[in-house]
Structure 1
Amino acid sequence: MLHDRLLKAIDTLGFTKPTDVQLAALPPALEGKDLMVGAETGSGKTLAFVIPMLQHFLDNPSPNTGTRGLILTPTRELAEQVCQSVKDLAAFTRITTMTVCGGTSFKEQAAEIRKNPEILVATPGRLVEHLERETMDFADLEFLVLDEADRMLDMGFRDEVMAVAEICRKERQSMLFSATLSHRGVRALLPEILNEPQELMLNTHQSGQENIHQQIILADDDKHKERLVEWLLANEQFDKVIIFSNTRLKAQWLAKSLQRQNRRSGVLHGDMSQDERKHVMNLMREGKINILVATDVAARGLDIQGLDMVINFDMARSGDEHLHRVGRTGRQDNKGLAVSLIDHSEWNLMSSIERYLKLSFERRRLKGVEGSYKGPKKIKASGKAAGTKKRKTDGKGDRKAAKPADKQRQRNVKQAGKRPSNKPSLGDGSMPMMKKKKPATD
């Protein structure tokens, strides 16, 4: 049975029934077992690892120890969101938590860490920096959670994750959560981090997509895509929308274009300071802006109420990234729309993502803003291999065998009127003379 203070917080937050991942993960996690969980984005997995941690701390108070719980996330935005979830669930307890991320003052963080918060939510890069400067230790650590483990590996944090796991206390409970447990690097981490884990696979590539209507629109180039975005924003019904771009420069360009149209829009990318990123996210959550142009820094973990449309200005570079982008909408049984704008250089990528996700995106055309690109040209099937000639048969379906004399006459006809070659035949035992190449001149 959960602690009364946890139940009070859950009731205050308005949660009435657990999600599938919570139903599956909470019982073994509360028993102290290590877990590896595959669950789609927006499934409620944050509570599946925060509740067991808080329950353990309430059942086993230890006020004079250091950090007892560590949650690693790939991005600052996800760290902030998870930290807020911890604070909400711990609202009626004295359990403290803080984020340890880049983009903020190192000295200020070190001062906060000296106050011994029981739970840290951190990104790997900044956390390793604190460990190297010996501003924290994990001698008292009881819980280690890797949230969005596949994304951390994709971002190149494997060495940092392994360094953190190595310095943590061996007698701990560890949990790994990932949207794609099939990721080639995730399972390689298991022997180093988890101890005889229980595996819970609650998603496939298609799960979590049922509430999302996915479409593609063909485009000529970025300027044409800009016009398509303008049409969608003017004609689709939405509360909030995220537009994804693959590069920071393109995201900034598109955001400025929308602002010139007096649209309430903001931009989010990895080169912004932490304060700038938090400010933009707060504006979005509060409804002061309703359009966010972002790079993939926003594709993981962000939960924004009322986000009912996603536009891929650029197609995601992989099926997993596409999965996480469109997963910003259609959350918690709500309906969502995801539109991908595809130019000639993205068709093959889009097709490979369709095959990977085992989905078929709806093809859509917007009247008045159609482009000239219609997709790859289709080659009509002729019933025979291209470049082959009709073979002669003997009337019984077998190819007629040409007689040697006939072949010689055909060669003689072809050579008629041509100058005799001075080159020796390769069949007479001699080798043709090779001309020396002239040296190249400047």
Structure 2
Amino acid sequence: MSVTKKRKLNGESSISPLSTKDASPATESTPQNGQKSFADLGVMDSLCEACESLGYKNPTPIQAEAIPVALEGRDLIGVAETGSGKTAAFALPILQALLNHKGNLAFFALVLAPTRELAYQISQQFEALGSLISVKCAVLVGGIEMMPQSVALGKKPHIVVATPGRLMDHLEKTKGFSLRNLQYLVMDEADRLLDLDFGPQLDKLFKILPREHRHTYLFSATMSSKVENLQRASLRNPAKVSISSNEHQTVKTLLQSYIFLPLKHKDVYLVHMLTDLTGHSTIVFTRTVVEAQRIALLLRTLGLSAIPLHGQLSQSARLGALSKFRTKGRDVLVATDVAARGLDIPSVDAVINYDLPPDSKTYVHRVGRTARAGKSGKAVSLVSQYDVEVWLRIENALGKKLSEEPDMKEEAMMLKERVDEAQRVAMRELRSMQEGKGRKGGGLRQRHGGKRARDEMDREEG
């Protein structure tokens, strides 16, 4: 493919019309394997080139269905399983429209996301796909100071990615920030936006945003009655693209199983499994923040490379933990359900449900962190004598019985003495952190009691 000349988008004024070659869709032939290419969908040369540079060889099913509809100018509802490539499905049409637009390019598109991590991830993907045209993005999320975000808005970015609460803060308080010229609105993970009670902020936002000439995309893993009400309030005659008709569907390349064990031996079994998985990236899901922190300390005490991720960490610590796990600086991410939705961590080999999730929908999103984009993966759930009813409900929702792991009690219990000692060390460290919280308050960075714990956690999470 020929090298495309890099163009810079001007946030203050319109850009000159593209040449005929750049403005028209690329015209590469369909690959011999029968799969469509991005060019076949109507994506222009420069964006096809960006896809190729990022390793996107062929569109995923949601991309193949959604992109042509979006390029026609229709409002769009996209329903697809987690890890299906939804971000590029809305980012590419918006970037193509940005290139072809002849008016003001500042605040061209707004993307709403339910979590801070997902907002940063969406922004990074927009910038990567739009690298050849110098796309500028601003991220507006809570947990950090508003002033740097206000400065970023003052530079008139093309794309704003935000959580609803912080977006409303800026619309009410940041001088000169307005979305009256907005051309595109995207609500990503819409079901999660509503689960997190962002409904009131969304209602206020719809009263402010321009209705005319606005294209709206709603993407969700499931279609609940709340999402349908949101659709009626914000979209006009939308086209619906659904890749997964079953909200409890998991991908075929995912191997799922469970271990039935006594509650008192969960730590021993977990350590045995993670020892066998040494060198493989694994996410361990827990129900609570305290348990995530305790298990991370336990695993570190035993020499396993683990790092925690939960909602009580500072934003910089959360991003730092994700970065270390993505770059394989740490093998094990011990997380609450803050990591269950939306995050794109390309190479997760296994997911372990240390604590079972509260419902089947959360189970699907947790195990969807592995076996992404056609790759294989493994998900194992630890089921104690107190979890049987919850596990049976999950299996019923999945529509199948999952296989039980071979008996590993004998091998696992050989580790019991070491794990018992590590549990005592982890609990001492955890109590020190909690005492620090009582004295100082604030984020986990302020909770570390002893100097050794404080120094280690600062290194790991920074």
User: What TM-score, normalized to structure 1?
Assistant: 0.80
Q: Distance in 1 between matches of 2:385 and 2:172?
A: 47
Structure 1 segment 274-313 matched on structure 2, within 5 A:
274-313=315-354
Amino acid at match of 1:180: T
Residue in structure 1 matched with residue 440 of structure 2 by the alignment: none
Contact 2:258 2:404 in 1 (8 A): yes
Instruction: Determine which structure has more spread, i.e. the larger CA radius of gyration.
Output: 1
Residue in structure 1 matched with residue 400 of structure 2 by the alignment: 359
Q: Which residue of the other structure, out of 8, 12, 16, is the alignment partner of 2:57?
A: 16
Amino acid at match of 2:144: T
Q: Distance in 2 between matches of 1:90 and 1:105?
A: 27
User: 2:222 aligned with 1:180, yes or no?
Assistant: yes
Q: Which residue of the other structure, out of 103, 112, 123, is the alignment partner of 2:163?
A: 123
Q: Distance in 2 between matches of 1:148 and 1:219?
A: 35
User: 2:85 aligned with 1:44, yes or no?
Assistant: yes
User: 2:261 aligned with 1:219, yes or no?
Assistant: yes
1:61 Cα deviation (Å)? 3.9
Q: Distance in 2 between matches of 1:174 and 1:220?
A: 50
Secondary structure class of the residue paired with 1:113 = helix
Q: Distance in 1 between matches of 2:160 and 2:82?
A: 22
Q: Which residue of the other structure, out of 259, 264, 271, is the alignment partner of 2:312?
A: 271
1:201 Cα deviation (Å)? 1.4
Q: Distance in 1 between matches of 2:385 and 2:182?
A: 52
Residue in structure 1 matched with residue 448 of structure 2 by the alignment: none
1:107 Cα deviation (Å)? 1.0
1:111 Cα deviation (Å)? 1.3
1:51 Cα deviation (Å)? 0.3
Q: Distance in 1 between matches of 2:134 and 2:307?
A: 36
1:359 Cα deviation (Å)? 2.7
User: 2:126 aligned with 1:92, yes or no?
Assistant: no
Residue in structure 2 matched with residue 81 of structure 1 by the alignment: 121
Q: Distance in 2 between matches of 1:143 and 1:80?
A: 18
Secondary structure class of the residue paired with 1:185 = helix
Residue in structure 1 matched with residue 17 of structure 2 by the alignment: none
Q: Percent identity?
A: 37
Q: Distance in 1 between matches of 2:67 and 2:207?
A: 26
Residue in structure 1 matched with residue 363 of structure 2 by the alignment: 322
Q: Distance in 1 between matches of 2:210 and 2:261?
A: 54
Q: Distance in 2 between matches of 1:160 and 1:369?
A: 53
Q: Distance in 2 between matches of 1:66 and 1:93?
A: 14
Amino acid at match of 1:39: A
Secondary structure class of the residue paired with 1:368 = helix
In proportion to residue count, which structure has more helix?
2
Q: How many residues align?
A: 368
Secondary structure class of the residue paired with 1:337 = strand
1:263 Cα deviation (Å)? 1.2
Deviations, residues 395-438 of structure 1 (Å, cap 9, x unaligned): xxxxxxxxxxxxxxxxxxxxxxxxxxxxxxxxxxxxxxxxxxxx
**1:40–1:238 Cα change, 3 Å:** farther
Structure 1 segment 90-169 matched on structure 2, within 5 A:
90-135=130-175, 136-169=177-210
**RMSD value, Cα:** 1.6
1:325 Cα deviation (Å)? 0.4
1:80 Cα deviation (Å)? 1.1
Deviations, residues 123-169 of structure 1 (Å, cap 9, x unaligned): 11211221232442210111011111111111111112222222111
Q: Distance in 2 between matches of 1:206 and 1:351?
A: 14
Contact 1:205 1:357 in 2 (8 A): no
Per mean C-alpha deviation after superposition, the further-off stretch among 116-125 and 246-255 is: 116-125
Contact 1:238 1:309 in 2 (8 A): no
User: What TM-score, normalized to structure 2?
Assistant: 0.77
Q: Distance in 1 between matches of 2:159 and 2:350?
A: 34
Q: Which runs of 5+ in 2 are unaligned?
A: 1-24, 26-42, 414-462
Q: Distance in 1 between matches of 2:411 and 2:268?
A: 7
